[in-house]
Amino acid sequence: MTTNYFKNYPSKEGYFEDYGGSFIPPQLQAEMEKITDAYFSISKSHNFISELRSIRKHYQGRPTPTYFCNRLSTKYGGRIYLKREDLNHTGAHKLNHCMGEALLAKYLGKKKLIAETGAGQHGVALATAAAYFGLECEIHMGEVDIIKEHPNVVRMKILGAKVVPVSFGLRTLKEAVDSAFGAYMQDFENSIYCIGSVVGPHPFPMMVRDFQRVVGIEAKEQFMEMTGELPDNVVACVGGGSNAMGIFSAFLEDSECKLFGVEPAGRSLDLGEHAATMTLGTPGIIHGFKCYLLQDEKGEPSPVYSVASGLDYPGVGPEHSMLKDLQKVSYVTANDKETIDAFYELSRLEGIIPALESAHAVAYALKLAKENPRQSILINLSGRGDKDVDYVMDTYGLPE
Ligand SMILES: *Cc1c(COP(=O)(O)O)cnc(C)c1O
C-alpha cells in the first residue's frame, strides 16, 4: 500500500485529493513545471542519490538516534521514545530538505537560494546548505521574529546569508513568505525558492516530504530493532507539517500505529491567539496551494499566534489536510502552558532541551502516556531548544 500511496499522492497536478495544486501566476507556473520535471529526473539519478546519501552521513550526522526516555516514562507511564532530529546538523530536521533542495538547485545551475523563515531554523538550515554548495542565500524574516530569535539571525549572518527584515502586517511567518515569494518572482531564472515546509505550490509539498522521509525510514527501523515491534503511537508537532510528514510517511500503511499531529493552541482558541489550523480551519487557498486554513469570510488568512515561532502559520500542508479527511492522522492541540511545562520536564528528566515547537509534541505525548500506560509512544523531537532558552527564561522564568 505504501508504494501505491506514494505513487498516487500527489497526483500529476500536485493534488492530495482536494488539496494542494498550484495557484500561481502563469510565468511562475512554467518555472514550477521545470522544477517538477527536473526533480523527477535528477532526484532519481544515481549521482544525486549517492551525493545526498553521502551528505547525510558525513555532513549531517545521520542516522540520528532513536532514544528511550527512561525517567520520563517512569514518571508519566507508557514507553516514550524520541527520534532525535535535534541532533541533526544545525539542530533541527529542516536541514534534511534544505540539503535536498540545494543539491537540486546545484544540478539546475541556480546561483541563489531564497526563502522565508519563522523561528529562524529554516533560514539557518538553508544558509548552511548555501555555504556548503557555494550558493548565494537571501532569507526573509518578520521583524517580530528577528527580535525573538536573535541567535538564529546572527547564525545566518555568520554563515554568509543576507537577512531581509519584513516590516508589514503582523511581521511574522506569513508575511515573511509573502515577501520571499515576491523576491523570487523578480528573479526566478537565477534563483530557486526553497520553501521551509511541506507547503506552497506543487512540487514543493511533494519534494519536501520526500526529502524528509529519511526521518521515518530511520525511526521505524531503529524502533523495530530496539523493541521488536511497531510503536503504538507516533506524535509530531505540525506547523507547515514537514517533520510530521517525515515521520508519519513510514507508518501510513500500519493501521495499528496511531498517528497524532499536534498543533499550537497558544493562549486560547480565540481568534488570533492560536494556530490550530486543522482543528479550527476550513479549506482555502494560501501561498499558491489549497489546504485547511484559518481565514476570515473573505478568504484572507487570520492572524495566528504560538509561543513557538516555527508553528505560527495559518495554513498547513495539503497532504496533512487530506490525511485529516481520510482520518489517517488525528490532529490535536497543546497550548502554551502545557508546552512550557513539557519543555522543562524533558530538560530536567532527560537532559534534553527541546525546541518550543517540538515541546508541543512532547506535551501531547505526556497526556497520551498518562492515559495509556501500557503503550509505546514515538515522538519526533524535531529540534533542540538552544534558540529558545533566553525567551523562555525572560517570559516564564524557572518552574516552581
Ligand atoms: C520549523 C520547525 C517546526 C515546524 O515546521 P514543520 O514543517 O511543521 O515541521 C517544528 N520544529 C522545529 C524544531 C522547527 O524548526
Q: Which domain holds residue 229?
A: 62-92+213-395
Partner residues linked to 283 by β-bridges: 292
**Residue 121 CB–ligand 1 contact under 6 Å:** yes
Of 205, 232, 252, the one marking the end of a domain is 205
- pTM of the predicted model as reported, rounded to 2 decimal places: 0.96
Q: Is 14 a member of any domain?
A: no
For residues 182 and 257, membership in a common domain is answered with no
* Rounded distance between C-alpha atoms, residue 355 and residue 29, angstroms: 35
| Residues 127 and 264 placed together within one structural domain of the fold | no
Gyration radius from the chain CA atoms: 19
Question: Same structural domain for residues 341 and 372?
Answer: yes
The reported pLDDT for the residue numbered 262 is 98
Grid cell listed for 241: 507539517
Q: Which three cell numbers stand for residue 283?
A: 479549506
Q: Is there a single domain that holds both residue 28 and residue 153?
A: yes
CA of 362 to the centre of ligand 1 (A): 14
Which residues does 355 contact at the CB level (< 8 Å), separation at least 6? 86, 91, 92, 119, 121, 308, 310, 382, 383, 384, 385, 387, 388
Spacing, Cα 338 to ligand 1 middle (Å): 18
- What lies within 8 Å, CB to CB, of 144 at 6+ separation is 170, 171, 172
pLDDT at 129: 98
Residue pair 85/382 in contact by the 8 Å Cβ criterion: yes
Residue 186 sits in the same domain as residue 76: no
* 243 close to ligand 1 (CB < 6 Angstrom): yes
Mark which of 189, 205, 221 sits at the end of a domain: 205
- Index of the ligand 1 atom closest to the CA of residue 91: 13
- How far does the centroid of ligand 1 lie from the alpha carbon of residue 34, in Å? 27
H or E, element range at 284: strand 282-286
Structure confidence by residue, pLDDT tens digits, 215-227: 999 999 999 999 9
Catalytic residues: 69, 93
Whether 238 is in the pocket of ligand 1, judged by its Cβ within 6 Å, is: yes
Give the model's pLDDT for residue 344: 98
Query: Both 82 and 49 in a single domain?
Result: no
42 and 150 co-located in one domain = yes
Task: Give pLDDT, residue 3.
Answer: 65
Give domain status of residue 221, yes or no. yes
Tens of pLDDT along 255-297?
999 999 999 999 999 999 999 999 999 999 999 999 999 999 9
**Which protein residue's CA is at the shortest distance from atom 1 of ligand 1?**
310
- Same domain for 255 and 117? no
Determine how many CB atoms are found less than 10 A away from the CB of residue 347. 17
CA distance 196 to 117: 7
Number of domains present in the structure of the chain? 2
Do 151 and 266 belong together in one domain?
A: no
Q: Please tell me whether residues 126 and 33 are part of one structural domain.
A: yes
Residue 242 in any domain: the answer is: yes
* CATH number of the domain within which 102 lies: 3.40.50.1100
Nearest to 117 by CA among 154, 172, 157, 185: 172
Residue ending a domain, choose from 205, 227, 257: 205
Residues 106 and 135 in one domain: yes
User: Residues in the chain with pLDDT < 50?
Assistant: 1
Cβ 94 under 6 angstroms from ligand 1: yes
Residues 186 and 280 in one domain: no
Residue 15 lies in a domain: no
Residue of 197, 248, 278, 379 to mutate, ligand 1, most atoms within 8 A of C-beta: 197
Q: What is the spatial distance between Cα 393 and Cα 386, in angstroms, rounded to a whole number?
A: 12
Q: Give the CA dihedral 385, 174, 280, 96, nearest 10 degrees.
A: -50
